[in-house]
Amino acid sequence: VLPCAPCRCARGPPGGEAVAAPAAGEAGEGAAARSGAQRPADRPAAQGGARGQRAHGAGGADEALPQVGRGQCEAGVCEGQGGGGEGEGHASESDGRAAIGRGGAEGESGAEQRARGGEGAGGDPQGSGGPRGGVPQDGRRAGGKFRLEQENRMSELEQQRALQDATGSSQREEWEERLRTAQMGEETVRREVQGLRARIQQQALQLEELGREKHENADLRQRNQELSMQVGTLSSAEAELLEANHRLREMLERLKEELRNARCQTERSQHDTERMLEERRMEWLEEKHKLQERDAELQEKYSQAKERLQRAALAQKKRKTMSESKQKKLHDKIQLLEAKVAELELETQTANKRPAQCEEQAHLHRRLKELQRRHGEFRRLLLGTQHTSNPPFTPAPGAEGSFASLHDAEHQREVAVLRRRLEELESSQQQQLEDLGPPVERDLEWQERGASAQDSLLQL
């Protein structure tokens, strides 16, 4: 461990960090001086930065001593210097430019001591080992003075600048305060103007309202006069109405008396009518019972007549079906007989041509008579017992040509007689149904039956 130099309180090996700090600070100051010579405008800032670095390095070296107290050494030489370095270091950390000025003003003696310490350190070839070990002491002193002057000038400029900034900021704050007060005054004036405008508008509205109220008062006065006149007329009308009301009350009393009398009369007449109505009701009930009994008897008679008619209709229907079946059978027989008659005519013609067959002709003649007799019986059965049968037709020899025409005429007469009998039967049945009051369907049924019978006769 080396003994402490007059400029530093560092202890440690040669070439260490605490010894190399002044050399580094001086190199920084030389660079700052050269840059300040080249750029005069930036010289104060560079000098201040170099000063701050040196002070910070000195303060850091003082803090790095563990055993010896800060600002003290064995020789007692560096007590004031260490105190100045510590002040410079703390000032550079807290406030850069103001601390540089204060450090330059307080530590001028400390700088001279550091210069002397630098000379001692530069003369010792083993302890320094820095790049400025061979510089003469006069040059370093001159450089230190120049740096002090520059630092002093720079601190003065900084102080002036700080004062200018302070005055500018105070003036700016003052003008801002004035501007705020002016704006506040303008706002208050604007509010007052708005309030005055609102008051003016309100007064104008009040004036208009007063004008309207004046007109309304005039109208109300006129109306009051009219109403007073109307009240007078109404009072006279009220007196007339009271008199009319009195007359109407007297009339109402008379009408009430008449109404009571009329009500009594109506009650008496109502009792009489109720008694008569009850008597009539009893008579009507008796007549109703009689009519109901008569209706029941008529219904019974009607049902009996209806049953008889139904039975007669069924019997008539059966007779009709039987007569139709017989008529059909007889019609078939007539056709067969006509065919046989035609055969016999042909045989007679052939017999006339052959006189040798007289016996056969006589036999055929007898057979023809038999057939005519049967045909007459059929006509009698068909026409009934009222009409007598015609004598059998015996055709003379040579009258075979007119036999067919006579037979057709006879047949037409028989059909006409049958049609007339059917019409008479239908009219009699219709008369019976009308007497008994039959429904319309039954009439239609009988009409259909008559029409079917007529159609069958026409077919015959």
- Identify which of 139, 155, 77, 150 has the alpha carbon closest to the alpha carbon of residue 110: 77
Both tokens assigned to 407: 């037979």
Amino acid in position 146:
F
Rounded to whole angstroms, the Cα distance separating 8 from 82 reads 8
> What tens digit of pLDDT does each residue of 106-146 get?
444 444 444 454 444 334 433 333 444 444 567 677 777 88
In this prediction, residues 39-66 reach a mean pLDDT of 41
Q: What is the DSSP letter of 76?
A: S
Cα atoms in the 13 Å half-sphere on the side-chain side of 358 = 2
Confidence label for 396 from pLDDT (cuts 50, 70 and 90)? very low
Query: How far are the Cα atoms of 77, 278, 279 from residue 285, in angstroms, in the given order?
Result: 166, 10, 10
Residue 382 main-chain phi, psi, to 5 deg: -75, -40
> What tens digit of pLDDT does each residue of 145-184 get?
888 888 898 989 998 888 888 888 888 888 999 898 989 9
User: What was the pLDDT predicted at 264?
Assistant: 92
The answer for residues whose C-beta is within 8 angstroms of residue 57's C-beta and 6 or more apart is 21, 22, 24, 25
Assign 3-class secondary structure to 232-298: HHHHHHHHHHHHHHHHHHHHHHHHHHHHHHHHHHHHHHHHHHHHHHHHHHHHHHHHHHHHHHHHHHH
Share of the chain above pLDDT 70, in %: 53
Rounded to whole angstroms, the Cα distance separating 365 from 347 reads 10
User: What was the pLDDT predicted at 88?
Assistant: 39
User: What was the pLDDT predicted at 143?
Assistant: 78
Both tokens assigned to 23: 């050399």
Rounded to whole angstroms, the Cα distance separating 232 from 29 reads 124
* Alpha-carbon torsion (447, 449, 450, 451), positive or negative: positive
Contact 56, 92 (CB under 8 A): yes
Rounded to whole angstroms, the Cα distance separating 120 from 137 reads 10
Rounded to whole angstroms, the Cα distance separating 155 from 101 reads 4
Rounded to whole angstroms, the Cα distance separating 68 from 55 reads 19
List the beta strands (DSSP E) in 102-193: none
Query: How far are the Cα atoms of 81, 418, 422, 424, 449 from residue 428, in angstroms, in the given order?
Result: 178, 15, 10, 6, 14
Helix (H, G, I), strand (E, B), or coil: what is residue 6? Answer: coil
User: What was the pLDDT predicted at 58?
Assistant: 38
